[in-house]
């Protein structure tokens, strides 16, 4: 089977023999026992729901900072090489599109209280599970060269904002994973210069792209026509759909049913024109959800009770979610009497005039309601504007949270492009870029000279055999039927 760049399926896999998948490495720990000492105040339990292999994973519940660490005695850190791990986020911390969780991986000796070497590998605003990877080369050289000894694999999940509890589950740390890095170049807004400026540069180099088509806008002023979209497809580009046919946020339709119906209409349009049924889309304006009423105030609490006195109860109603560092996850209002609020969980700490919030999360697009519906409708990839990469050599068949991270190319330089792609090469991960215009600097543009330089450099890395030019259907073909290696 030939896929992009004239490479066979086996060649693109970067595996050993014919038909073999890349090495999945050696399982170091499945986190099926509670041997991780807690740090930073979280509590640990076994998680048998969000596991990816074996019997369970380890789940940390904490406030503000969730830290997990696993000690390995007699372990040579150098042998870790490129390593992969699975993380599942279950967040109750904010409900704002700007909230995020930053996950840092740290390798250090057990004698260090605050380890220095770290790498932030994950920034997410939604719940869900993903595979991520790291490389010893990213960490402090002294740690990597420490040899056999007592070392820790440590995860810090720093939740943005204050007083917002959350949960993180860890599972399946593998060392020595194989495969190649992958680069996906995605194009938004169907600008005509994607055909007349981007394609002439990419096609001679064997580099492909993925365009998200808002079907109701095709043929508009300065936009691609169906004929031009066909020319991109003939050059090996992937033709997928925009989150909405008119390129407006998916959350403004009024209901999830209407949003899904619009996607289905776009899907049928592509199929009727002879394109493969799309399974990918982009979130217009990067909007993943909408926010309900949020009331910020202050509260005084008494440990061991489930009542709180607030400065003002205006707008607070039964059923609202209560957010504060001293409360359990998913804490709800059960009664409002004056400024005394009764909750369905007790406090474990005394606070005086501490910041808190009450959130109405009953809206159609709150939390992960949209993503759950999209998954149920058969959609697999939802490209976001969240800057990170992900590992998919054998994790692509997992949930992946219907959110494909990507980097903006507005004003991008060759040096910044190289830095991001080299990181994906080192980690054997997938990195995605979103592109609006190939035009002179300004607006959402990627300068044509910088774009040409970036593509020329990417071609050299492809020729070195360390990265592939990919699309979401291509990765689905490569790894879509993959399963997690047995423990």
pLDDT given at position 253: 86
Confidence bin at 458 (pLDDT 50/70/90): very high
Helix (H) / strand (E) containing 168: strand 165-175
Please count the other Cβ atoms lying within 10 Å of the Cβ belonging to residue 282. 30
Residue 34 vs residues 4, 57, 85, 404: alpha-carbon distances, Å = 45, 9, 17, 31
The answer to whether 356 and 323 have CB atoms below 8 angstroms apart is: yes
Mean pLDDT of 454-475: 95
The answer to whether 339 and 311 have CB atoms below 8 angstroms apart is: yes
* pLDDT digit string, tens, across residues 423-442: 888 888 889 999 999 998 77
The answer to whether 482 and 396 have CB atoms below 8 angstroms apart is: yes
Question: Given a cut of 60, is residue 157 above it in pLDDT?
Answer: no
Q: Which residues pair with 47 in a beta bridge?
A: 57
* pLDDT digit string, tens, across residues 70-99: 666 666 666 767 777 777 766 544 433 334
Mean pLDDT of 297-312: 89
- Report the first-to-last Cα separation within the chain, whole angstroms: 31
The answer to whether 345 and 306 have CB atoms below 8 angstroms apart is: yes
Residues near 183 by Cβ (< 8 Å), separated by ≥ 6? Answer: 421, 424, 430, 431, 432, 433, 458, 467, 468, 469, 470
**Which region holds residue 233: left if phi is over 0, alpha if psi is between -120 and 50, else beta?**
alpha
221 in helix, strand or coil? coil
Question: Given a cut of 70, is residue 237 above it in pLDDT?
Answer: yes
pLDDT given at position 359: 84
Mean pLDDT of 127-147: 59
Question: Given a cut of 60, is residue 273 above it in pLDDT?
Answer: yes
CA atoms within 13 A on the CB side of 321: 22
pLDDT: which is higher, 116 or 302: 302
Please count the other Cβ atoms lying within 10 Å of the Cβ belonging to residue 242. 26
Residues near 217 by Cβ (< 8 Å), separated by ≥ 6? Answer: 190, 223, 245, 246, 247
Determine the topology of domain 23-175 in CATH.
Answer: Jelly Rolls (2.60.120)
Lowest-confidence segment of 298-302, 315-319, 333-337, 345-349 by average pLDDT = 345-349
Confidence bin at 13 (pLDDT 50/70/90): very low
Give 479's DSSP letter: H
Confidence bin at 481 (pLDDT 50/70/90): low
Give 121's DSSP letter: E
Where are the domains positioned within the chain? 23-175, 181-289+366-479, 294-359
Residues near 98 by Cβ (< 8 Å), separated by ≥ 6? Answer: 125, 160
Confidence bin at 58 (pLDDT 50/70/90): confident
* pLDDT over 90 percentage in the chain: 39
Residue 261 vs residues 289, 374, 396: alpha-carbon distances, Å = 17, 11, 26
* pLDDT digit string, tens, across residues 241-251: 999 999 999 99
Mean pLDDT of 135-147: 54
pLDDT given at position 119: 43
Phi, psi (degrees; rounded to nearest 5) at 57: -125, 180
The answer to whether 241 and 278 have CB atoms below 8 angstroms apart is: yes
Q: Which residues pair with 11 in a beta bridge?
A: none
Six-digit token string for 208: 């492909």
Lowest-confidence segment of 34-43, 93-102, 357-366 by average pLDDT = 93-102
Residue 219 vs residues 77, 123, 190, 426, 468: alpha-carbon distances, Å = 56, 36, 9, 41, 32
Size (the chain), residues: 487
Residue 222 vs residues 13, 189, 192, 212, 218: alpha-carbon distances, Å = 38, 10, 6, 16, 10
What is the residue-wise DSSP string for 76-100? EGGGG-EEEEEEEEEE-S--STT--
Q: Is the pTM of this model over 0.85?
A: no
Lowest-confidence segment of 11-15, 16-20, 336-340 by average pLDDT = 11-15
Residues near 473 by Cβ (< 8 Å), separated by ≥ 6? Answer: 238, 276, 279, 280
pLDDT given at position 242: 97
Confidence bin at 159 (pLDDT 50/70/90): very low
Q: Which residues pair with 122 in a beta bridge?
A: 103
* pLDDT digit string, tens, across residues 17-29: 233 445 567 877 7
pLDDT given at position 353: 86
Question: Given a cut of 80, is residue 153 above it in pLDDT?
Answer: no
The answer to whether 101 and 166 have CB atoms below 8 angstroms apart is: yes
E strands, 36-187, are 38-39, 43-47, 57-63, 65-76, 82-91, 101-109, 118-124, 128-135, 148-159, 165-175, 181-187
Mean pLDDT of 337-343: 96
pLDDT given at position 40: 46
Q: At the fourth CATH level, which superfamily is domain 181-289+366-479?
A: Glycoside hydrolase/deacetylase (3.20.20.370)
pLDDT given at position 388: 72
Mean pLDDT of 123-140: 61
Confidence bin at 219 (pLDDT 50/70/90): very high
């Amino acid at each position: 089977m030939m896929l992009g760049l004239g490479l066979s399926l086996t060649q693109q896999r970067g595996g050993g023999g014919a038909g073999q998948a890349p090495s999945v490495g050696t399982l170091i720990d499945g986190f099926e026992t509670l041997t991780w000492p807690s740090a930073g105040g979280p509590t640990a339990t076994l998680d048998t729901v969000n596991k990816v292999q074996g019997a369970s994973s380890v789940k940390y519940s904490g406030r503000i900072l969730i830290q997990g660490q696993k000690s390995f005695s007699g372990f040579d850190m150098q042998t870790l090489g490129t390593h992969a791990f699975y993380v599942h986020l279950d967040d109750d911390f904010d409900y704002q599109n700007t909230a995020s969780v930053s996950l840092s991986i740290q390798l250090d000796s057990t004698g260090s209280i605050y380890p220095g070497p770290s790498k932030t590998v994950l920034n997410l605003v939604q719940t869900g599970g993903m595979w991520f990877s790291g490389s010893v080369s990213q960490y402090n050289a002294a740690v990597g060269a420490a040899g056999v000894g007592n070392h820790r694999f440590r995860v810090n999940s720093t939740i943005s904002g204050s007083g917002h509890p959350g949960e993180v589950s860890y599972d399946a740390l593998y060392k020595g994973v194989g495969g190649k890095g992958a680069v996906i170049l995605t194009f938004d807004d169907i600008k005509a210069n994607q055909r007349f400026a981007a394609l002439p540069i990419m096609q001679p180099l064997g580099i492909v792209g993925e365009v998200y088509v808002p079907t109701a806008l095709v043929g508009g002023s300065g936009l691609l026509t169906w004929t031009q979209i066909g020319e991109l497809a003939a050059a090996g580009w992937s033709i997928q759909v925009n989150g909405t046919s008119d390129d407006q946020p998916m959350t403004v339709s009024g209901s999830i049913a209407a949003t899904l119906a619009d996607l289905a209409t776009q899907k049928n349009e592509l199929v009727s024109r002879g394109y493969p049924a799309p399974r990918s889309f982009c979130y217009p304006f990067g909007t993943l959800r909408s926010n309900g009423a949020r009331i910020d105030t202050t509260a005084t609490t008494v440990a061991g009770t489930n009542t709180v006195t607030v400065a003002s109860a205006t707008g607070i109603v039964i059923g609202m979610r209560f957010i504060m560092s001293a409360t359990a996850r998913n804490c709800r209002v059960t009664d409002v009497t004056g400024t005394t609020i009764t909750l369905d969980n007790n406090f474990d700490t005394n606070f005086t005039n501490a910041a808190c919030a009450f959130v109405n999360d009953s809206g159609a697009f709150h939390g992960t309601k949209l993503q759950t519906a999209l998954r149920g409708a058969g959609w697999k990839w939802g490209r976001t504007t969240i800057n990170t990469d992900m590992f998919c050599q054998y994790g692509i068949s997992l949930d992946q949270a219907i959110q494909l991270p990507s980097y903006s190319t507005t004003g991008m330089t060759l040096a910044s492009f190289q830095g991001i792609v080299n990181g994906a090469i080192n980690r054997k991960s997938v990195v995605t870029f979103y592109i609006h215009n190939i035009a002179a600097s300004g607006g959402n543009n990627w300068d044509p000279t910088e774009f040409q330089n970036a593509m020329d450099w990417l071609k050299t890395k492809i020729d070195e055999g360390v990265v592939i030019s990919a699309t979401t259907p291509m990765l689905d073909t490569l790894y879509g039927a993959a399963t997690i290696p047995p423990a």
